[in-house]
Amino acid sequence: MIALEQKIWKWKAASGDMPASTEEVQDWIARETTLTVVVNGSELVSFSSSPDHCQDLALGFLFTEGVITSRGDIARLHHDVSADRVEVDLAEGIDFKPAEWNRTRTLTSGCGQGVQLNVPPNPRRMIKDEEPLIVDATYFRRLFSNLRAFSVWYERTGCIHQSTLVPIPGAPIIREDIGRHNAVDKAIGAGLAAGVNFGHSLLSTTGRLSSDMTSKAARAGIPMIVSRSAPTSLAVAIAEDAGMTLIGFVRGPRINIYTHPHRINLNPTDANVSSDDA
């Protein structure tokens, strides 16, 4: 389970005629474990995470960090639950140099996960528009409203992030984690395992849109990333160069479109938009 119940003591300061009070209650606390990813018998990376969908996390991490380019690059994927470890054997012919990978990783601003490959020097080629994804501007309000029903663990713990991969058309893939980056990797990893067409999908996430999260989505070829919160300047720059539509501040009837607005139908009553079914 992603969280556990524990006895806590809630204290409330005195206010007016009401004295200070203490209450003993059961409360939910998010679980945190250290997951290690082992590639070809060697430990590649360890990071703090929520202990669920660990294979999705490892698969998404390897994909968004450039270690693999498809699910077919992996010959074996095994989650050793007792050791908090995911073991990955790459397919024959996959040329991966761990030492070189380690030299190019940088520390991120994120929670739960602290490593990330450097932003590619030429991200402009990442997003391809053979079949452009067009989404109603009104769709995002419905999307986030619907996703609230699946935010049970955030409501209970106050610290679990949610990322959702939405194939259009198709069923959303929802993943949660104490780390925003982990939640993104889980959603993308699950999509990769399911054979989702990333080029006709969007990614929604909680919390701010940082450069590393935007870069992960760009590497996957996802043309649109959306959040209720704000992006950073580098996230906007990466999205612009990668050809990605970046949307923030999805709140009520308004959204902020920071890059590539051509994928957003600003007059939804005049167009036929497939996102209605997502």
pLDDT > 60? residue 128: yes
Q: How large a percentage of the chain has pLDDT more than 90?
A: 70
Q: Which residue has the tokens 């992996």?
A: 74
Domain residue ranges of the chain, discontinuous segments joined by +: 33-121, 135-277
Q: Going by CATH, does the domain composed of 33-121 fall within 3.10.20.10?
A: yes
Answer yes or no: is pLDDT of 112 > 80: no
DSSP state of 261: G
Token duo for residue 165: 């991969």
Q: CA-to-CA distance for 169 and 21, rounded, in angstroms?
A: 52
User: Contact, 107 vs 177, CB < 8 A?
Assistant: no
- Least confident window among 104-118, 163-177, 239-253: 104-118
Q: What value does the mean pLDDT take over residues 89-107?
A: 82
Spell out the long-range contacts of 88-95 with Cβ–Cβ below 8 A and sequence spacing 24 or more. Answer: 88/37, 88/38, 88/39, 88/40, 88/58, 88/62, 89/39, 89/40, 90/39, 90/40, 94/68
Nearest to 216 by CA among 89, 85, 62: 62
Mean per-residue pLDDT over the chain, rounded: 88
**The two three-digit tokens of residue 261, written as one number:** 């607005």
pLDDT at 276: 47
The reported pTM is: 0.89
Q: Identify the CATH assignment for 135-277 out of 3.40.140.10, 3.30.70.20, 3.30.1490.20, 3.40.190.10.
A: 3.40.140.10
Which pLDDT does position 16 carry in this prediction? 92
pLDDT average, residue stretch 81-104: 89
pLDDT digits (tens, 9 = 90+) for 33-54: 999 999 999 999 998 999 999 9
pLDDT at 123 over 90: no
pLDDT of amino acid 120: 52
What pLDDT, on the 0 to 100 scale, is given for residue 116? 53
Over residues 98-118, the mean pLDDT reads 62
Q: Which residues are catalytic?
A: 111
Contact between 213 and 181 under an 8 Å Cβ cutoff? The reply is yes
pLDDT at 156 over 90: no
Who contacts 222 (Cβ-Cβ below 8 Å, separation ≥6)? Answer: 127, 165, 188, 198, 199, 201, 202, 203, 244
